[in-house]
Amino acid sequence: MSDYLTAQFPGTGGVIKEAPEDFLVEEIPLYSPCGEGEHLYVEVEKQGLTTFDLLSRLARTLGVRERELGYAGLKDARATTRQTVSIPGVKPDQVLGLELEGVRILSARFHRNKLRPGHLAGNRFTIRIRQVREGSLDEARDVLHVLQNVGVPNRFGSQRYGSLGNSHLIGGALLRQNFEEAARQIVGDPSMISNERWRTGAERFAAGDLEGALAALPARYRDERRMIHALIEGRSARAAVLGLPRKLLRLYLSAYQSQLFDRMVTMRLSTLDILWAGDLAWKHDNGACFFVEDPAFEQPRADRFEISPSGPLFGYKTTLARGQAGLLEESLRDKEKLRVEDFRLEDGLGMEGERRPLRVPLNGVDVTADGADLVLAFSLPKGSYATSVLREVMKTEPTGA
């Protein structure tokens, strides 16, 4: 079974992110600042910085506590991104005159509330694909036409699984309380590592040489070194792994949830736009879900893209589908030997779970040829990824988008 929705069309091939200006992301705000209040909404354009890098620089420069700054979405460093952050207790002229490397201030207006994660409608992308196959403009247009009509498979994609592509394996090991396996995966499989010192450290760790692994690992691998230090001190694998930052451990668990969801998307790929009896339909206007009792009655709403089938981000509070859709979800859990109760972890690591649409709408589509390159423009709702569009167009795994 192909895992491309548009398998009938050849891919363009090519590469992305050769330069930061090849990948432009612009937040689509959920609302505009009203012009009054104590929070200054600052629209910025940045290159070479993550969102957290940006917040740190702004807080340090303006003398504000970093945790008091707000943001709607996280943006990659390897791109040109335009996003809004909120800063309390500062005036527009303090910000508009700032000169920070890699940062350009575009506007500053007051609003009454702090900007929170998720306070955006979506993102607009303009992406240059370099070195595409000759004559691929028409195929790209055909692929995008299908995605506009059927929807974009709402995958998380490879960027969710870390530089070695194994974050979900760490999460799965944590969930199953297999801390020895989690530790091995955290240090990494030597065969997957290109950095020489890191690979040497991973080889020594795999051989049981903890002191040698610590000596080889570069200082920047702080979490790995911290875990190995704990093991050298005689702590159990459980204590050593759980001694890592909670934010990091939850990221691993989230990656496992994401990988299961991506597999569910693949399993439903031929019916992404078709409702089944027992489906939990996702309402695109507000994110609410309801059980589909009569698929024929509800299908016209799916055809209008008002609703879509949803899949689970498994957790101990996840509402599961029924009927035929429920059997598919159950088959995935059975294959993984997984119970939703397994996500009820201690130590602040419990994952409640939620539903997520299996497809999302693609809007504002434009594609043009520019010499040997293609330039794509489109918008997606919040929480969905440009990689899902690019992998269908390119028929490769566009890492890091």
Catalytic residues: 76
Token digits of residue 221? 């691998």
Looking from the CA of 116 toward its CB, the CA atoms found within 13 Å total 2
Do 174 and 249 meet the contact criterion of CB atoms below 8 Å apart?
Answer: yes
What does the alpha-carbon distance between residue 275 and residue 306 come to, in Å, rounded to a whole number?
12
Do 243 and 226 meet the contact criterion of CB atoms below 8 Å apart?
Answer: yes
Nearby residues of 238 by Cβ (< 8 Å), 6 or more positions away: 177, 179
Count CB-CB contacts under 10 A for residue 168: 23
Q: Give the bridge partners for 335, in sequence order.
A: none
What does the alpha-carbon distance between residue 248 and residue 246 come to, in Å, rounded to a whole number?
5
